[in-house]
Amino acid sequence: MDGSVTPVQETGLAAGPIVVEARNLRKVFTPQDGNPPVVAVEDVSFQIRRGEFTVLLGPSGCGKSTTLYMIGGFEKVSGGELMLHGKPVAGPGPDRGIVFQDFVLFPWRTVLGNIMFGLEMMRRFDRAEIRARAEHYVQHLGLAGFENAYPSTLSGGMKQRIAIARTLATEPEFMLMDEPFAALDAQTRDRLIADLSRIAGEQNTTFVFVTHDVREAIRLADRIIVFSPRPSRVVQSIQVTLPRPRDSYDPRLLEIDRELRSLIGRHAPDDPAS
């Protein structure tokens, strides 16, 4: 990357310690039905630092979700290394919360019931404490008044707020988010980006956020890890130091936007030179 663009930097200045590191990470799905294996993640290397809002950016089908699910411990690693605090990821854990594009709320639980779920499963707090913590995130995500509604009665934006609150409520070290705003209309997405950006600033959490939307990535990220189309590799890892809250029409943001688009457009995994 050309060093002349000031808001984009190759290396972190006040970066925290590395908490997740992928080295030549690879994932191959072997279907049960005799179809040929699918290489979902070819050869991916990157680092995630504590407290950094990290965005995995790349075109559809390049293996972003699969990478995120491997960090979550939901999918097994097929090759290379994926280290969490210096140790290989071994299954899911309460340190890593997950948010999906299509919410995956529990339809049999009310809004408050969904948000209390993780706290109940931890078996660490009594009923009153669980309620109080859940209520806090109800307020925080703007869900007040809907506590006793069932998710099916609410809009997509509200559902995603519930899912985010459900995950935040247990205060995990990592928030893994898989295109959480991709299914929402532009206006709702805009508000949620702003709210998430605010929440991320208040929280100690390390966010790992998957998207194919360049603008969304720039508005949210401290660091953007750019994936190439399949076979997936990491093209570039860049830092975004624009002040928050970020405005989509900020000329500096548009500048990064243009640069990222040309980078992705080149489709040349190992050739970032201009």
Partner 1 sequence: MSGAASMAGHARGRWRPSRNICIGAASVGTVLLLWQTMSSLGVVPTVLLPGPVTLARQAVVLAGQGGAVPFQLEHDITLTMVRLLGGFACAVALAVPLGVISALWPPAGKLLQPVFAVLMAVPAIAIVPILMLITGIGNATDVTVVIFTAFVPIAVYVHEGVKLVDRRYYWTARSFGTRPVDVFRHILLPGIAVPLIAGLRMGMGYAWRSLIATESLTALSGGLGYSIFQAAQFFDTRTIYLYMVVIALLGFGIEALFRHAERRTAIRWGVIASGGSQ
Ligand X SMILES: Nc1ncnc2c1ncn2[C@@H]1O[C@H](COP(=O)(O)OP(=O)(O)O)[C@@H](O)[C@H]1O
The answer to whether residue 170 forms part of the interface with partner 1 (CB under 8 A) is yes
Closer by beta carbon to ligand X, 67 or else 114:
67
Report the alpha-carbon distance of residue 249 to residue 219 in Å, rounded.
Answer: 10
Report the alpha-carbon distance of residue 15 to residue 59 in Å, rounded.
Answer: 27
CB-count exposure of residue 267 (10 Å: 0-12, 13-18, 19+): exposed
Closer by beta carbon to ligand X, 114 or else 232:
232
- Select from 25, 53, 58, 65 the one that contacts Mg ion (CB under 5 A): 65
Binding positions for partner 1, 13-32, rule CB under 8 A: none
Binding residues for partner 1, how many (CB under 8 A)?
A: 29
The answer to whether residue 152 forms part of the interface with partner 1 (CB under 8 A) is yes
Q: Taking contact as CB under 8 A, which single stretch among the options 37-45, 59-67, 98-106, 208-216 is the one that binds partner 1?
A: 98-106
Report the alpha-carbon distance of residue 71 to residue 65 in Å, rounded.
Answer: 10
Binding positions for ligand X, 15-54, rule CB under 6 A: 29, 38, 40
Q: Which spans of this chain sit near partner 1 (rule: CB under 8 A)?
A: 69, 72, 74, 91-94, 96-98, 100, 104, 106-109, 117-118, 120-123, 150-153, 167, 170, 172
Q: Which spans of this chain sit near Mg ion (rule: CB under 5 A)?
A: 65
